[in-house]
Structure 1
Amino acid sequence: MSEAVHPVDEMLPPAKLFTLGLQHVLVMYAGAIAVPLIVGRVLKLEPEQVAFLISADLFVCGIVSILQSLGATQWFGIRLPVMMGVTFASVGPMVSIGLAHPGAEGARMIFGAIIGAGIVGILIAPLVSRMLRFFPPVVTGTIILVIGVTLMRIGISWIFGLPVGPTAPKIVNPEHAAWLKGISDMAAAGGATLPDQPRGFGLAPTMDNPAYAPVKNIVLSLVVLAIVLGVARYARGFFSNIAVLVGIVAGGVIAALLGMMSFAKVASTAWFAPILPFHFGTPIFDPVLILTMVLVMIVVMIESTGMFLALGDITGRRITRPALSAGLRMDGLGTVIGGLFNTFPYTSFSQNVGLVGVTGIRSRFVCVAGGAIMVVLGLIPKMGALVEALPTVVLGGAGLVMFGMVAATGIRILSSVDFKTSRNNLFVVAIALGFGMIPLIAPDFKMWLPHAIHPLIDSGILLASIAAVGLNVFFNGAGGDAEGAREAAMAAEA
């Protein structure tokens, strides 16, 4: 290699590029499939549609990773080894939309909000670096902590069952329902003296639901968790980094052996299918939903700024303001592409930044190769169908680790915050955390507030973000800087 070629621009042999690129894919795979699974099931889509969301996500992950690492004109792409994936920060708002508008309509509203927010993200990218002062580690750490805690609810529901619907802890006693139906039929019969059933009258659930938290589900989740922990504890290097993926694969094998997993839809799914835009129809552009996603984009771009600065230190390439703006514009463009192709907002994955530091391989073409592999996986529908076929209980055992690690990352960032001499930081964390818990503990808190603002306040992540920024400015002023963002990112991927 010529000394004039920076390690970031080094072109490795094809076999090595493929191997190292596949390594990056495996490290991020579990995180990449989690969001489409969450959103697809909240939207109550058919299994085939959820599988399509997974394929679309893998496809766009690959495209955006290639554009970010390779660069697309001087305006887009950081040109560093970056793997892009769906940000967990967007899950809360999307789940809120999905619960209020299930089905294709909700999907169209989500994708419209994502496209709108991505366009705004492209426009504001040059301004984000000037907003760093509003996001010191005490703010970013708190936001990431709330993201993790919010996602833990989803992981726990994957294990035990959703608190509403077919897996609700309590159901209506069938004998009581039969008796009420008999009385209602008698009241409706001609000449009956019984009064008609009052409008809206119904029975309350009083019977334990055998579909909620069956022991075999709990045991399987614990087995998956044990496998993840065992791999993380005893494996070394690369295999330690893919502990969650190993746990999911092992859990899927066990579930299949126990007859808990059906491969019928996998067998009937095609081997190849293109990912076409607007699969669910024309996106719906709601201003409040777009504003909600714009707030998510700002948080995501601040996080990306820290990741880019940390990656610059790891690779030995100085990050200039134009390069930073190009990377952040790619976050925005990637989000627009995501919305067009039926998927979600994108950001750099911290675990892949950490892998660059662990392996010492700084070539951006490794992530270009990883992106190409993701594109191919996205074009193979059987991969998406196989992931969709996994019982949620398997994902729940891995989700405890995956989502818990997000919360732990927030705690790690907060560990660098000075709470002794700056005791006001305690107020920032405590109150912002409380705001983030409101939708989890009291989901109907907004019932008397204007319906138009419900999507904006229904996400604990957004409430915590707004509270943390406001409280930090109130107590500490706007004192964040690029060094603080870099340190927070280094703590997140360490």
Structure 2
Amino acid sequence: MRDPNTKQEAKIENIYKLDGRVPIGKAIPFGLQHVLAMFVSNVAPIILVASVAMYDGASFTAVEVARLIQNAMMIAGIGTLIQLYPLWRIGSRLPVVMGVSFTFVSAMMVVAARDYGIMIGAIIVGGCIEGILGLTVKYWRRFVAPIVSACVVTTIGFSLLGVGISSYGASDAFEFGSWQNLLVGTITLAACLIFQAVAKGFWKQLYVLFGLVVGYIAAICFGMVNFDSIGDTVGELGVISFPMMLHYMPKFELGAIISVTLVFFVSAAETIGDTTAVCTGGLGRDITEKELSGSLCCDGFISAVSGGLFGCTPITSFSQNVGLVAMTKVVNRFTIMFGALTLVIAGLFPPIGAFFSTLPSCVLGGCTVIMFGAIIVSGVTMLSQCGLDQRNTLIAAASFAIGIGVTQVDGFFAHMPQVIGDIFSGNPVAGVFVVAMVLSLALPKKIELKDIDALTPETVEKK
């Protein structure tokens, strides 16, 4: 017999609350919306790495790549479930969606081209180091000032704008920037905006899912959707297939471990920014020490599992979904859990994953550009909450100018060690974080007493 309290808890209004049950029929589309927002970006990194990877002197076959894609969906779902419903101290209890990270692609391709086993060994060690970093948050969090987190969140949004616009103009059927791609992307974006403007109540927050459906139909009309890939996947893996585990033997090489671990530190900075943005943009409050610790632990330790057990590259919080939370304010863990379960099921049933992978890039771009903009708005809001006094303004200005600026000039790190260029030349988040941290620690935090004495109503008014 069903507990009467369960009916009272299962309310659609709970989608705007972290805890509480939502009717399953309403929860599923909201969870599916999160999966569609990140699906292509989740499988793309592992495809790029596998395209250059060598293992025991041989390149990867099409079947091995398909199995890695299957594993990427599975570990993304597992990581998201642990973020939502923590195991021990691993997980944040925040509406954070995990996925295979683009941050590591450059470093992973270099190492995997030598030997995939060396890459797996470096992921295991680097992931454990980030996990330990999460366990020790209370010892170092005070050094990461709010202005640093605000700069990182804003930079994450700016760094993703190029990804969104690149997707907006791309598809497999037409050349980049063709009128067909741009039209379908515009139709998708317009559908999102119109639905969000005219829909009522909670339906308003499903605007991304609505835009994806409308854009997908438009893409089919333009011949952009290739359903042959579904048949190819079924032919290779069958309708039901369990993930391939412990297939790649890890090898431990110091140089690879050091370079990959440095990227894990960059990923940790992004995770701090993402989870902070989820709290400020979705929950309207600052992140707690426990939540930050659990988020970093999940990032690190589950990345070690991703490499060691599933043979995948590291996973981290997905900024696309941070933007979705900021736009819709849907933060309910029970609801987002259905998105995580969809990823797990897609990992067990390859045709499901193959169907999602038919989503053209221009359709995804039409939805994501506005979400990436929402991340920037969240960062700007955080900057204003920090207070833009002279000190904070200097930190923000210098970190943006240097951290983002060096990524816009080819060859800036040409005469530096390659690992420096790999970390900073393609990832503005890393540079902004480092500059903001250095300035935050170096610049004086308080006005000297002699300066306070010199302040009079007249001088304050002039300033």
- Which TM-score tier does this pair reach, normalised by the shorter chain? 0.7 to 0.9
Point out the more displaced range, 321-330 or 145-154. 321-330
Indicate the residue corresponding to 2:168 in structure 1: 159
Alignment partners' CA distance in 2, 1:332 and 1:311: 24
After superposition, where does 1:40-439 map in structure 2 within 5 Å? 40=46, 42-43=48-49, 45=51, 55-72=70-87, 74-78=88-92, 80=93, 82-86=95-99, 90-91=101-102, 93-97=103-107, 112-160=121-169, 211-270=175-234, 271-277=239-245, 282=250, 286-300=256-270, 302-303=272-273, 306=276, 325=293, 328-340=296-308, 341=310, 342-347=312-317, 350=322, 371-419=340-388, 422-439=389-406
Q: 1:443/1:378 Cα in 2 relative to 1: closer, same or farther (>3 Å)?
A: farther
Alignment partners' CA distance in 2, 1:240 and 1:18: 18
Indicate the residue corresponding to 2:433 in structure 1: 465
Would you say how many aligned residue pairs link Structure 1 and Structure 2?
413
Point out the more displaced range, 344-353 or 447-456. 344-353
- When Rg is computed on C-alpha atoms for both structures, the one with the higher figure is 1
Instruction: Using the TM superposition, give the Cα deviation of residue 264 of structure 1 relative to its aligned residue in structure 2, in angstroms.
Output: 0.5
Whether contact under 8 Å (1:42, 1:98) holds in the other structure is no
Alignment partners' CA distance in 1, 2:63 and 2:130: 31
Identity, % of aligned positions: 22
Q: 1:152/1:301 Cα in 2 relative to 1: closer, same or farther (>3 Å)?
A: closer
Indicate the residue corresponding to 1:25 in structure 2: 31
Indicate the residue corresponding to 1:196 in structure 2: none
Indicate the residue corresponding to 2:459 in structure 1: none
Q: 1:213/1:246 Cα in 2 relative to 1: closer, same or farther (>3 Å)?
A: same
Instruction: Using the TM superposition, give the Cα deviation of residue 153 of structure 1 relative to its aligned residue in structure 2, in angstroms.
Output: 1.6
Alignment partners' CA distance in 2, 1:354 and 1:159: 21
Matched AA of 1:429: A
Matched AA of 1:151: L
Instruction: Using the TM superposition, give the Cα deviation of residue 467 of structure 1 relative to its aligned residue in structure 2, in angstroms.
Output: 0.8
Whether contact under 8 Å (2:127, 2:302) holds in the other structure is yes
Matched AA of 2:390: R
| TM-score (normalised: structure 1) | 0.69
Indicate the residue corresponding to 1:189 in structure 2: none
Point out the more displaced range, 326-335 or 372-381. 326-335
Larger RCO: Structure 1 or Structure 2 (Cα < 8 Å, ≥ 6 residues apart)?
Answer: 1
Q: 1:447/1:345 Cα in 2 relative to 1: closer, same or farther (>3 Å)?
A: same
Residue deviations 1:276-323, cap 9 Å, x none? 2366775776123322233134324534774797799899xxx99778
3-state SS, counterpart of residue 223 of structure 2: coil
Whether contact under 8 Å (1:58, 1:378) holds in the other structure is yes
Whether contact under 8 Å (1:98, 1:106) holds in the other structure is no
Alignment partners' CA distance in 2, 1:244 and 1:297: 27
3-state SS, counterpart of residue 445 of structure 1: coil
Instruction: Using the TM superposition, give the Cα deviation of residue 462 of structure 1 relative to its aligned residue in structure 2, in angstroms.
Output: 0.7
Alignment partners' CA distance in 2, 1:384 and 1:441: 35
Query: How big is the alpha-carbon RMSD for the aligned residues of Structure 1 and Structure 2?
Result: 4.2
Alignment partners' CA distance in 1, 2:362 and 2:329: 33
| TM-score (normalised: structure 2) | 0.73
Alignment partners' CA distance in 1, 2:340 and 2:267: 22
Whether contact under 8 Å (1:24, 1:352) holds in the other structure is no
Whether contact under 8 Å (1:266, 1:382) holds in the other structure is yes
Q: 1:62/1:213 Cα in 2 relative to 1: closer, same or farther (>3 Å)?
A: closer
Matched AA of 2:99: V
Q: 1:396/1:469 Cα in 2 relative to 1: closer, same or farther (>3 Å)?
A: same
Whether contact under 8 Å (1:247, 1:398) holds in the other structure is yes
Matched AA of 2:76: C
Matched AA of 1:438: G
Whether contact under 8 Å (2:36, 2:356) holds in the other structure is no
Residue deviations 1:46-102, cap 9 Å, x none? 987776555434322332333344443x44445x46453138xx53x324336757x
Point out the more displaced range, 140-149 or 277-286. 277-286
Alignment partners' CA distance in 1, 2:386 and 2:406: 27
3-state SS, counterpart of residue 269 of structure 1: helix
3-state SS, counterpart of residue 385 of structure 2: coil
Alignment partners' CA distance in 2, 1:111 and 1:145: 32
Gaps of 5+ in 1: 168-209, 479-494
Whether contact under 8 Å (1:29, 1:245) holds in the other structure is no
